[in-house]
Structures are given as structure tokens and as C-alpha cells.
Amino acid sequence: MLKREIPVTIEGPAGALEGLHFDQADARGLALICHPNPVKGGTMLNKVVSTLQRTARDAGFTTLRFNFRGVGSSGGSHDMKTGEIDDAEAALRWLQAQHPELPLTLMGFSYGGFVAAALAGRIEARGESLDRLFMVAPAVSRLADQPLAERCELTIIQPDDDEVIDATSVHAFSAALGRPHELLKVAECGHFFHGKLVDLKELVAPRLA
């Protein structure tokens, strides 16, 4: 069977959001994937986001990745505060409406790691269920005033040679978390996982199994 994502349009708080949806037969869960910094060229087609999507797809998940406001064909303009979290929440509601009752995993890369973590906090604050959160080279400095999820499984994946996100800031964020979680350090790896996408998949895949 051809495994292919389908373009979708989602009603967002600042205008229509464009997305790519993969509807898995007999899916074991949902995976929503958030892309990196929109003002620095980040889109849902980023190669790290694509790797996360394929990894979740191959693990049996229905997936959705989408462009934040002002990116690609998504309406509105960049907010870079809570607006993109609102976008992610709208995308999540659309995904859950298509596939009710399936367990949820959130994934985010760089700025998208901030968005996914902030959305996870919102979900748990409402008493809703979230299975797992993956934060990949996350922009943790943006999380200072955001309530964080406490109950879901949490995996943080941080390149050692990150030239965009200070790896020590991610290590400090991890050390300060008062909850069980994993911090996985990727040696000889820069922010965009050049030459290390297979390593990323090999870290994520068993944690989705």
C-alpha cells in the first residue's frame, strides 16, 4: 500500500492552516509534529520534521504536520509568542476530531519543541490525556512562563554540537525538571542533524513501539 500524506486545510485562530495528514489504517495512536522557527525559514517540510513524521508513520501512528500562521499557505502573520501554540491546538483539535479516542503523542523540533511542550502543558491542565512528548533540540528559553506537563512520558533529544540552541541550556532545563524524563545527547551532531537523521530515527522509533 502506498503510504502518502494528504494535504489538508484546518481552520486556525488567525486564518486557515495548511497541513499534511497521514491516515494510518488501524492506527495505534496520533502524532502531531511542530516545525522550527517560522521567522528563520522553518516549515513543516523541514527534514527533521519529515524524519519525525516518517518515524511515527512507520511505528503505526496517524500523523499531522502543519505550517504555523504566516508560513507557506497558512493565513495570518507570525506571533512568536502564544499564537503558534494556539495554531498547534487548532491542528490538534482537527486531528482528534478525525480520529477520536486514540492516544496522543506530541513532537516538536527547535521552536516547535517549545510549542509542543507548551501545548502539552495546556492539555494536562485541562485534565486531558497525553501519552508522550518528544522535544528535539528544543527552544527551552521560551518556556520560562509556560506551565509544563507533568504526567506524560517525556523525551528530550539534544545535539551536543548545536549551533542554534545552547546545549547547556537544554541540559540545565532537564536538570531542573522535577519529574521523570529522558535526556538523550547526540554526539558530534549539529542543530539540524546533518548526517544524523538515521540516529534521530533510531532514538525515537523504539520509544514509540
Residue 165: predicted pLDDT = 98
- As a whole number, mean pLDDT of residues 10-25 equals 97
The Cα 190–Cα 160 span in angstroms is 7
pLDDT reported for residue 2: 59
| Mean of pLDDT values over 186-207 | 98
- Helix ranges, the chain (H): 47-58, 83-98, 111-125, 167-176, 197-208
Whether the CB-CB separation of 99 and 127 falls below 8 Å is answered with no
**Are 103 and 19 in contact, with CB atoms under 8 Å apart?**
no
Q: What is the CATH number of domain 7-208?
A: 3.40.50.1820
Share of the chain above pLDDT 90, in %: 99
What average pLDDT does this structure show over 53-61?
Answer: 98
Gap between the Cα atoms of 153 and 188, Å rounded:
26
Amino acid at 42: G
pLDDT at 110 over 70: yes
Model pLDDT, residue 129: 94
pTM for the whole thing? 0.98
**Over the stretch 25-46, which tens digit does the pLDDT of each residue have?**
999 999 999 999 999 999 999 9
3-class state of residue 21 by DSSP = strand
pLDDT digits (tens, 9 = 90+) for 142-188: 999 999 999 999 999 999 999 999 999 999 999 999 999 999 999 99
Q: What is the pLDDT averaged over residues 11-20?
A: 98
* Alpha-carbon span 209 to 104, nearest angstrom: 14
Check residue 137 and give left, alpha or beta (phi > 0: left; psi -120 to 50: alpha): left
Question: Using one digit for the tens of pLDDT, what is the confidence trace for 84-101?
Answer: 999 999 999 999 999 999
